[in-house]
Amino acid sequence: MDWFKVTAAWAEKDLRTSYVRWMFRFEKLDSTKVGWWAQPTEEYHPSESIEMLKACCTNCREESLQVYEQGWMCLRPQCPNFWKLNGESPPDKLEYSHSFINCHTPWDPQLELPPAPLRPPLASDRDNYYDGGDVARIYWKGMCCPQCGRLSCREFWAGWVCKNCNFKSSPPRTIFEADRLADPHRSVFTGPAIPSNIVQPGITWTRMVVDGMTCLIYYLKDCGTVAHILASEYQNKRPECADWLFKEYQAPEMPFKRYALKSHKVQGQLLTQQFSFNAGAPYKYIVAVDSTPFEECPRAVTRSLELIQERVKLVHPETEFNEILSVGYFEGQKMDYHDDGEQELGETVASISLGAPAKMRFRIKAKHMSSYKLWEPNNAPSEVNVESRLHKEPRVKLELRLNHGDVVVMKGREIQRIWEHAVQPIGLFRVAATARWINVPQQHPAGVLVKREPSDGPMETEFVKRAAVLGFPEVPLISEGGSASSPGPSSGISSNQHSTDTGTSSPSSPDHPEPFEVEDVLNGRAVPTAKTIRTGVEDLNRDPDVLVKEEDKEEALLLLEFTK
């Protein structure tokens, strides 16, 4: 782009809607440079000798510019003559006048100087100006590549990578101590901590001390409980506990990343604010996050899971987890209202807070607000009263103040269905790790059917041993008893429909084109889609024989789909 000055403002009327909109005329500071957006045919010859024409309204006696070629109009919305061309409505299509386009407005020479280079400096050049280490707001904003000028988001924990020329910029890393990020006026507890949560009427709670830790249990009516287990200085300083974890999580090698949001209304890719890392069973979340097996994770991740597990056992001894999502929040980042109610999720979700404190708020989802009246005391007020009360009452019913080392445990599926929660860190830098149980059905050892579309001939399917699909090349591509079948143009069979039509499969014949090579799968020429893998795994689990039963062939096509 370029630097511009605003040289005129006027009102226009939309005759279809009668709305009035304000328009602004921008003029480039350096009018000798042709804009990259200008059409080659565009006639633009700015000159100071061309004047912008003005005239006075006979009705309001105020001056308006002549903006349009079609003629002068009063451009003051307050005037009864506004937007009238010789007393009539102007035509729908108006053109800008020659003088309006080409006049060059004289300007104070001092102000003609560009105030700063348009290309923002690299964040590392600004280090001296920002207090907040390398987690300040500018460190998660985009980078303008000094080599090629391309703008790139900050996607990686370690720094920026230009998407065009691969230029890398890594800011220096400050390792924060949790104490530096804590509220300086907070109380420091050497024994069980005292909470400072906010509870609205209607939520009951109990408090107990277990193993020297304060536990608060909030009853979100019949939906379940939220337990807040407060850490103490003593607990946090123990080996491989909160202080240690927080330090470990800040290592530059930590595989945190900002992932692309799966659905949003903006053109192009949009990243989540926070950096995250998923380990154990795959969790869909609101972004397509990869998942790393526990054996390959940094120790901070597996240790967080152990510590969460230890804390959760204080209140819900039977709970197990198989997944942990670690999230790093830089300055100003937060997690908006959401629920953790994915279908595959177990009923307990627990998280540990590290670093800066945070507010975690729970509110009833708007669509369930009407059921709130069911929770009124015995003599439930009349419909009218309930409504008026709902409007006055803030939807937030519980606000937890989370400090370094605290653990929160949500237990109950209904909490995720009826309620939603949001987390707002207070301070520069925070890490949270949330553990869940995810029902991942066992992978069927037999394999999967893959589908391909040959350039000539009908759609082909081929049975591929699952191990090969998952990346073990030693397992060869196999045909299941000559299993090539023709599903027809649509194989969109719902996962719980079991076809009984045995006529859908036919033995492979020499007429059929060559099947997929395993290499196609492994070298990325044939790509499985995450959604279909998941559907497939679920179906395999529901019916382990699905791949060997002839009548289920069509359904099995859904199990894993490859696009060539």
Ligand X SMILES: O=C(O)CCC(=O)C(=O)O
- Per CB under 6 A, does 434 bind ligand X? yes
Whether residue 329 is annotated as binding a ligand: the answer is yes
Pair 449, 559: CB distance under 8 Å:
yes
The tokens for 273 are 């604010």
The tokens for 254 are 């930590």
The tokens for 519 are 């290499």
Q: How many residues bind ligand X (CB under 6 A)?
A: 11
Contact positions with ligand X (CB under 6 A) in 63-102: none
- Per CB under 6 A, does 403 bind ligand X? no
Q: How far apart are CA 181 and CA 362, in angstroms?
A: 24
Q: How far apart are CA 319 and CA 346, in angstroms?
A: 10
Nearest Cα residue to 12 out of 98, 77, 99, 59: 77
Q: How many residues bind Fe ion (CB under 5 A)?
A: 1
The least distance separating ligand X from the CB of residue 360, rounded to whole angstroms, comes to 6
> Given phi > 0 = left and psi -120 to 50 = alpha, else beta, which region is 240?
left
- Per CB under 6 A, does 312 bind ligand X? no
Using Cβ positions, the residue closest to Fe ion within the complex turns out to be 340
SS (H, E, C) 116-159: CCCCCCCHHHHHHHCCCHHHCHHHHCCEECCCCCCEECCCECCE
The least distance separating Fe ion from the CB of residue 354, rounded to whole angstroms, comes to 16
Count of CB atoms situated within 10 Å of the CB of 301 = 24
Pick one of 240, 340, 399, 551: the residue that binds Fe ion (CB under 5 A): 340
Using the minimum distance from each CB to ligand X, give the nearer residue, 340 or 520: 340
- Per CB under 6 A, does 325 bind ligand X? yes
- Per CB under 6 A, does 335 bind ligand X? yes
Residue with tokens 């386009």: 101
The least distance separating Fe ion from the CB of residue 287, rounded to whole angstroms, comes to 13
The least distance separating ligand X from the CB of residue 42, rounded to whole angstroms, comes to 51
Q: Using CB distances below 5 to 8 A depending on partner kind, what does residue 353 bind out of ligand X, Fe ion, none?
A: ligand X
- Per CB under 6 A, does 327 bind ligand X? yes
Pair 477, 462: CB distance under 8 Å:
yes
Whether residue 338 is annotated as binding a ligand: the answer is yes
- Per CB under 6 A, does 423 bind ligand X? yes
Q: What are phi and psi of 538, to 5 degrees?
A: -60, -45
- Judged by CB under 5 A, which stretch of 333-341, 354-362, 376-384, 537-545 contacts Fe ion? 333-341
Using the minimum distance from each CB to ligand X, give the nearer residue, 345 or 557: 345
Q: Produce one character per residue of 406-443: b if its CB has 16 or more CB atoms within 10 Å, e if not.
A: bbbbbbbeebbebbbbbbbbebbbbbbbbbbbbebeeb
Q: How far apart are CA 185 and CA 488, in angstroms?
A: 69
The least distance separating Fe ion from the CB of residue 528, rounded to whole angstroms, comes to 28
Using the minimum distance from each CB to Fe ion, give the nearer residue, 423 or 546: 423
* Contact string (CB under 5 A) for Fe ion, positions 37-66, x = contact: ------------------------------
Using the minimum distance from each CB to Fe ion, give the nearer residue, 162 or 226: 226
Q: How far apart are CA 249 and CA 241, in angstroms?
A: 12
Q: How far apart are CA 399 and CA 397, in angstroms?
A: 7
Q: Using CB distances below 5 to 8 A depending on partner kind, what does residue 301 bind out of ligand X, Fe ion, none?
A: none
Whether residue 391 is annotated as binding a ligand: the answer is no
- Judged by CB under 5 A, which stretch of 3-11, 233-241, 339-347, 468-476 contacts Fe ion? 339-347
List of residues contacting Fe ion (CB under 5 A): 340
List of residues contacting ligand X (CB under 6 A): 325, 327, 335, 340, 351, 353, 360, 421, 423, 432, 434
Name the binding residues for 2-oxoglutarate: 329, 338, 421
